[in-house]
Amino acid sequence: MIQADQLYVNGTVLTLDEESTRAGSVAVRYGKIVGIWEASVPAQDEVSHDVEVIDLKGNTMIPGFIDTHNHLFMYSQTREHVNCATPPNHTIQDILMRVRAQAEEVGEAEWIMGWGYDDTLLQESRHITREELDRVAPQHPVFIRHISGHLAVVNSRALEVAEVPEDIEDPSGGHFGRDENGNLDGVLYEFPVLDYLFSSMPELSVETLTEKINRAAMDYLKQGITTNTDAGVGLDLGMKEYETHTKALAEGKNPLRMRFMMLHHLVRDGGPFDGMTAEEMNEKIMADSNGRAVLDSAKLFQDGSIQGLTGALLEPYEQHPDVTGELVFDQQLFNDMVQELHDRGFRVATHGNGDRAIGSIIEAYTNAIDQNKREDHRHRIEHVQTGSQADLDKMNDYNIAASFFINHVYYWGDRHRDIFLGEARACRMNPVAEAVERDMLYTLHSDNPITAISPLFSIWAAVNRVTRSERVLGEEQKISVNEALKSMTIYGAELNFEEDIVGSIEKGKRADFAILDSDPTKVDPMRIKDIGIVATIIGGEKMFDELTT
């Protein structure tokens, strides 16, 4: 007889184990799985009689979702900013009206923060200008971040507060937008430029930021996520992000199992964690978070955003024949940075959208591995939008993983085809099927808040590859429902070095589950994104529950 605390019965269980076994009931003790039965209710004498029986009511249990790349801290801020996205805004005037309304509500000189404008979806098909923002909020610094996260537009008051002169020189890895007369137009390109503004904004206390994390984490739990990677701790606010994350976890305000990609400037020479090995960094994260978080990797960027024309491409942009984007670092410097992190034991994760950036990252990784053949490094490339077949071959040869930003196909697929990449390159964006063919390690991710947090949406996007205009983009890159489910469960666990403890429903693994109102392997594939999350369970504890209410 199995001793159990909980017994889940009367449901469909997709174990997503190696054989993709289907089951009907699961027993849990001390937060781990101790029994799995094909029957919807095990025989009466097989489980201890004092067990808590949880009726799944015909719903479907799967392993908890693992999102391997998003920005929880950034999302905790942007979810409370002025909504500048499309929809609901369709013109620049729509956004300006929202900014004006906010200016009338807040105190004079208080910053107005907006999120999510997309120049390519607005009727004007251009960026907002500083002069337009000046007209609706002349006394308030205004900062509106582009949906890519890599750009922003600000007004004159914000530039004044940040002490940005008209003749400022562009920093390495970014530039200030200018009009035809050479004057600053208010558009900021890439993080080295955004940092000028971030450093001038009023500081929020760690306590305030912790409460924001608490509210944001609940949104993740409602999507069935149990393990989550913040893909840039330190990206906007440096050490304060680390302090906020660890405080929220230690105080129980973030129930998610967390992994941190530590921004390079936090772990490089002169940074707060200068000289630490990866093992030492992991020990510190675990101690500061009361065991609720671990180190994922050291994070680097080697290009920007394709929709911002800063992704580094080998061939020019479709409608911008003089533009190929920019590498953040020259190759030798980048090689040296990666080598230093690799030698300290860090797994390295590097943002690469364009094929020129992806090739540069592969060169740095393979050079580091050739110089120091560490076992099981699992270095990773983030987004991999335009990776070639040769890139995937080289990645597979060197055990370099891909984390695909699959939601791009829906949200930007039409514009990548028509504006940025052209038909041939756009059809291969996020070449997931080619990764499957090579049996290489890969995952899918949301990059929230760049796109909304929803593993089921990401799975839907990988299975259907449908754009906003309802056109299929890259039929040959579609993958099966079962494969897509694994990409956000057991493959995520493997990318996290945790395939032995989580990611599938098997004896001895953590009782991390998502309960769905439908079986994604049985519904029309176009309905997958509409499946509801009924409950989210972490270590046998219900963190989100509509099953018993």
pLDDT-wise least confident of 36-40, 82-86, 338-342 = 36-40
**pTM metric for this prediction:** 0.96
pLDDT at 78 over 90: yes
In a domain, 36, yes or no: yes
pLDDT at 549: 59
Q: How many domains does the chain have?
A: 1
- Beta strands across the sheet bearing 533-538: 22-23, 12-14, 60-63, 513-516, 533-538, 541-545
**Domain limits for position 534:** 6-63+509-545
Residues 166-171: what's their mean pLDDT?
A: 96
* Angle of the 355-371 helix axis to the 331-343 helix axis, nearest 10: 50
Q: What is the pLDDT of residue 412?
A: 96
Q: Which of 391, 313, 398, 387 is nearest to 356 (CA)?
A: 313
451 lies in some domain = no
Assess if residue 105 is contained within a domain: no
196-205, 251-260, 314-323, 427-436: least confidently modelled range: 196-205
CATH, residue 43: 2.30.40.10
Side by side, the strands of the sheet bearing 257-263 are 65-70, 225-233, 257-263, 293-301, 348-352, 380-383, 401-404, 442-444
For residue 13, is it within any domain?
yes
Partner residues linked to 253 by β-bridges: none
Q: Residue 252 to residues 1, 214, 261, 501, 535: CA-CA distances in angstroms?
A: 35, 9, 21, 22, 19
d(CA 114, CA 83): 6
CB 505 within 8 A of CB 514: no
Q: Which has the closest alpha carbon to 219: 471, 452, 490?
A: 452
Neighbours of 76 (CB within 10 A): 25
Q: Which pairs with CB-CB distance under 8 Å and at least 24 residues apart come from 390-394?
A: 391/355, 391/358, 391/359, 391/362, 392/431, 392/434, 392/435, 392/438, 392/440, 393/438, 394/362, 394/366
Note whether residue 38 is domain-resident: yes
Look at residue 60 in the predicted model and tell me its pLDDT.
98
Q: How far is CA 448 from CA 76, 116, 445, in A?
A: 10, 11, 8
Tell me if 142 is assigned to some domain.
Answer: no
For residue range 190-203, list pLDDT tens digits in order: 999 999 999 999 99
The mean predicted confidence, pLDDT, of the chain is 97
Q: How much of the chain exceeds pLDDT 90, in percent?
A: 96
Residue 107 has pLDDT above 80, yes or no: yes
The reported pLDDT for the residue numbered 41 is 84
**Does some domain include residue 51?**
yes
Percent residues over pLDDT 70 in the chain = 100
Tell me, yes or no, whether 349 lies in a domain: no
